Amino acid sequence: MSECQWHSSSEPTETAGEKAVSGLSKAVPQGYIHQSSHKRQTNAYLADIDRQAQKRSHRLIEGMKQAQGITEQLKAENALEWTGRLGSIRACAREIVDREILYA
């Protein structure tokens, strides 16, 4: 049986999750405690990856905007061109971030 599943045994077995979580009632199944702890760790890891991806994407977009001369002046003078060029930059940045961070 996986350690993330509910324990069907009537004998209490202490899990790492139960040790880490103090003050919980003994009525809470031990597998549930471990599963909750694992879920929190996974969520924290995913949130960190998301922050890294957002930061990298922002840096890439700003760098490409500068390199290609996409300015607020262009936005004011030709909004359609600005929108198209910025959309292309965002798509390119997304591909880079996906390759470097998400699928690495």
Give the C-alpha distances (Å, rounded to integers) separating 82 from 52, 54, 56, 100.
27, 22, 22, 27
What region does 23 belong to: left with phi over 0, alpha with psi -120 to 50, or beta? left
CA-atom Rg of the chain in angstroms = 24
Least confident of 28-32, 34-38, 53-57: 28-32
CA distance 93 to 101: 12
How do residues 5-15 score in pLDDT, each as one tens digit?
333 334 444 44
How do residues 43-95 score in pLDDT, each as one tens digit?
899 999 999 999 999 999 999 999 999 999 999 999 999 999 999 999 999 99
pTM above 0.85, yes or no: no
